[in-house]
Amino acid sequence: MPLTITDVVARDIRFPTSRSLAGSDAMHPDPDYSAAYVTLVTNDPALQGDGLTFTIGRGNEICVAAIKALAPLVIGRTLEGITSHMAAFWRSLTAESQLRWVGPEKGVIHLATAALVNAVWDLWAKSEQKPLWKLLVDLSPEQLVSCIDFRYITDALTPEEALTLLRRNEPTRAQREAEIRRRGYPAYTTSAGWLGYSDEQMRQLLREALAKGWTHFKLKVGANLEDDLRRIRIMREEIGPERRLMVDANQVWDVDQAIAHMKALAPYNPWWIEEPTSPDDVLGHATIAKAIAPIKVATGEHVQNRVIFKQLFQAQAFHFCQIDACRVGGVNEVLAIILMAAKFGIPICPHAGGVGLCEYVQHLSIFDYICVSASLEDRMLEFANHLHEHFVHPVVIENGHYKAPLAPGYSATMLPETLDAYAYPDGAVWQKA
Ligand SMILES: C[C@H](O)[C@@H](O)CC(=O)C(=O)O
Ligand SMILES: [Mg+2]
């Protein structure tokens, strides 16, 4: 009997993080970290696929509705039927003849696609008894390329070029895998620098983070210049002149404002400015990047699909590619972006400030290192220290590094008691509120 998806359960899970201001930034001062959470039920009671897409509260119910709209495209399909034609499966979701109109390949419908597609990859990895990164690492270059829908990107990356990029490092995959299993993947922390934290709280968290061995720190900016200057001075004082400091404006500025603001912060030696302006403004990013050099530009958590990433690469508009496991349409599209980044020589530093994102992106960076980039230079995973206790296999951090996850799957499976208690609006946590 082939493994068949018999049902799709979509849940609205929300955590009241706005009460502590964890996750706050200049554009999103009160996020309730949330997940539109998918379970693929199969004809094997011992095997299910779990996936999620990340939102920050209100609107999560819209993602759940979109998942329900896509579910009939998945129910009744066999895992083998999907995985043997991965690119066609992905296109069957993103190019569905009527649903496409409410995208295409962007916004709520694409977030929902990510939840479903990631759940399929989780199911595949669990059925192979491998963590997702290892499933990817064990696929041949041909198999990896066959997972990608190249529509709209062949002017930047052809399937043949993707194959060449993957074959380049194939003979040395094993040594990098051994290294990652031994040392883990380097990371930076965002957890001390949320915008809503007081100066005292920030100092305290920075001291704790330094004691734990963190060497790279991100600070939220963009409220007003006076506050930003005070907060960046505090962070520099605490971490010293050598450690890396990155700032993140979460899209609040116009292009000229971003340039002026970053010139004012330049004396504190920020390494990158993240999301200085609208994520859709490719040429605006390029203008900012030119004007504020040597400060670099990072973006990606709101870049909606591989097409906009393609333009950012082509226009030399950014220096760090911050893929998000849920913003684009799941693992398949992430593979396309990782390969384009390799071709254009841009390092991948995934976005992970959200629930479940750290659990996800560790797999993507480990795959990138072993199979594609073969380099750790200027590459780091983000770490945000929230809500990991709700996962069956939470991330493990040691001395500023993610340890390679070893449990089968894509690591986004939540505990059953979490799914009950944090269900919105009926779970105990929300009923009490
Ligand atoms: C609303 C989120 O917490 C956002 O601020 C995360 C983010 O920008 C990041 O982690 O980077
Ligand atoms: Mg950010």
pLDDT tens-digit readout, 17-45: 999 999 999 999 999 999 999 999 999 99
Give the pocket of ligand 1 (CB within 6 Å): 23, 25, 28, 31, 56, 190, 248, 250, 301, 351, 353-354, 382, 384
Exposed, middle or buried, 372 (CB in 10 Å: 0-12/13-18/19+)?
A: buried
pLDDT at 302: 98
Q: Are strands 244-248 and 272-274 parallel, antiparallel or unpaired?
A: parallel
Q: What percentage of the chain exceeds 90 in pLDDT?
A: 99
Give distance in angstroms: CA of 354 to centre of ligand 1: 7
Q: Which domain holds residue 50?
A: 5-129+419-432
Q: Is residue 188 part of a domain?
A: yes
Q: Is residue 157 part of a domain?
A: no
Q: Is residue 152 part of a domain?
A: no
Rounded Cα distance, 359 and 402, in Å = 10
Based on its alpha-carbon atoms, the radius of gyration of the chain, rounded to whole angstroms, reads: 21
pLDDT at 433: 80
Q: Is residue 363 part of a domain?
A: yes
Contacts of residue 176, Cβ cutoff 8 Å, sequence gap at least 6 = 169, 369, 370, 374
Same domain membership, residue 224 and residue 102: no
Same domain membership, residue 427 and residue 405: no
Residue nearest to atom 9 of ligand 1 (CA): 353
List % helix, strand, coil for the chain (3-state, nearest 5).
Answer: 45, 15, 40
Same domain membership, residue 256 and residue 210: yes
Same domain membership, residue 125 and residue 31: yes
Count of structural domains within the chain: 2
Same domain membership, residue 56 and residue 29: yes
Same domain membership, residue 106 and residue 172: no
Same domain membership, residue 123 and residue 171: no
Phi, psi of 12 (to 5 degrees): -105, 105
Same domain membership, residue 176 and residue 125: no
The ligand that comes nearest to the alpha carbon of residue 21 is 1
pLDDT tens-digit readout, 235-270: 999 999 999 999 999 999 999 999 999 999 999 999
Give distance in angstroms: CA of 41 to centre of ligand 2: 33
- Tokens 């002149």 identify what position? 241
Same domain membership, residue 73 and residue 109: yes
Residue nearest to atom 7 of ligand 1 (CA): 353
19: domain CATH number is 3.30.390.10
Both tokens of 338, joined, read 């990782």
Residue of 126, 130, 134, 220 marked active site: 220
Give distance in angstroms: CA of 15 to centre of ligand 2: 19
| Partners of residue 299 on adjacent β-strands | 321
Q: Which residues are near ligand 2, the ion (C-beta closer than 5 Å)?
A: 248, 274
Q: Is residue 142 part of a domain?
A: no
Q: Is residue 266 part of a domain?
A: yes
pLDDT at 358 over 90: yes
Of 58, 250, 275, 381, best ligand 1 pocket probe by most atoms within 8 Å of the beta carbon: 250
pLDDT tens-digit readout, 389-399: 999 999 999 99
Rounded Cα distance, 430 and 432, in Å = 5
Of 60, 248, 274, best ligand 1 pocket probe by most atoms within 8 Å of the beta carbon: 248
Give distance in angstroms: CA of 325 to centre of ligand 1: 14
Q: What is the mean pLDDT of the chain?
A: 98
323: domain CATH number is 3.20.20.120
Same domain membership, residue 295 and residue 405: yes
Residue of 106, 218, 261, 351 marked active site: 351
Q: Is residue 148 part of a domain?
A: no
Same domain membership, residue 125 and residue 172: no
Q: Is residue 101 part of a domain?
A: yes
| Partners of residue 272 on adjacent β-strands | 296
The ligand that comes nearest to the alpha carbon of residue 15 is 1
Same domain membership, residue 235 and residue 170: yes
Peptide bond before residue 104 is cis, with ω within 30 degrees of 0: yes
The pTM is what?
0.98
Size (the chain), residues: 433
Tell me the residue type at 353: G
pLDDT tens-digit readout, 89-143: 999 999 999 999 999 999 999 999 999 999 999 999 999 999 999 999 999 999 9
